[in-house]
Amino acid sequence: MKALLPITDVRMTVAIQAFHDPATGTVSYVVHDPATRQAAAIDPVLDYDAAAGRTSTRSADALLAHLRAHDLQLQWILETHAHADHLSAAPYLKQQAGGLIAIGEHIREVQATFGRFYNQPVADDGFDRLLRDGETLNIGSLELTTLLVPGHTPADLAYRVEDAVFVGDTLFMPDLGSARADFPGGDAGQLYRSMQRLLALPAETRLFVCHDYPNGREARWQTTVAEQRAANIHVHDGVTEAAFVAMRRARDATLGAPALILPALQVNIRAGQLPPAEDNGVSYLRIPVNALPSARDR
């Protein structure tokens, strides 16, 4: 049974509710404008049992229950990037509560790369809006601004609302540091520069991460620019780009593939859409054999 750890934070004019999925370490968010009851969901999770090949909507249903309990209207379903560690519940949320699905415009590069990887070009991708760097959206009377932060993937976006920034996989909590940069299209130097863009924001800016892997402590997902600059183990003040790149490349060379990367990416580059059912009524995922390098092969 999944543990649901919701936290509501209402500050200034923005309300934030976080949901942590311990199975994948993912943190999803519902952000809303208390004045208009308009809301956005960020990085929603579709539960997936890889051994059984079964999906379920427990995590997404928790977000929907929050929307209904607070009489919120879902305007946006925002992805920070095409995730490799969980399937997106974006289509399910849209079906149940409305809203438009959006992601960064550089998803086209990711789609091209993984379309070749799966030998299946991406046609109807399911995204309603592709977002540029610096673009603004409205959540009711709130203004959300996009920040392009590539490096983990070419398409990563962070979302800034008031004093809160949802950073995706660009930064982790300070004791965990940073995300890997060895996926196709990833770049450790670019990741460093993206992190510096975030760390140049005002010191009191709140940063909300997309994943946490507690390893003996309670899960956390909120930090600040000041805390990251002082204590992030990979990118605290004084760490140069060259030092970070050397560390990140050495560390990435030891990492195996995420458990759900093969099912997740083919779904998430299509905005969370599962493959169409075949003539027997069953959907099938494609699993390339011997296509990913192992850590020992690097």
In a domain, 296, yes or no: no
Cα–chain center distance at 117 = 21
Looking at residue 164, which CATH number applies to its domain? Answer: 3.60.15.10
In a domain, 266, yes or no: yes
Whether pLDDT at 2 is above 70: no
Whether pLDDT at 40 is above 50: yes
In a domain, 287, yes or no: no
- Measured CA to CA in angstroms, residue 232 lies from 12, 43, 165, 201 at distances of 27, 23, 17, 15
In a domain, 200, yes or no: yes
Domain boundaries, position 165: 7-271
Please state the pTM of the whole predicted model: 0.93
In a domain, 28, yes or no: yes
Contact predicate 62/6, CB 8 Å: yes
Read off the pLDDT of residues 206-263 as tens digits, 9 standing for 90 and up.
999 999 998 889 999 999 999 999 999 999 999 999 999 999 999 999 999 999 999 9
Contact predicate 208/220, CB 8 Å: no
Number of domains within the chain: 1
Whether pLDDT at 298 is above 80: no
In a domain, 278, yes or no: no
The pLDDT value given to residue 123: 76
Q: Running DSSP on this structure, what letter comes out for residue 29?
A: E
Instruction: State whether the Cα torsion 252-255-259-262 is positive or negative.
Output: positive
**What's the rounded Cα separation, in Å, for the pair 292 and 279?**
30
Contact predicate 20/3, CB 8 Å: yes
In a domain, 235, yes or no: yes
In a domain, 174, yes or no: yes
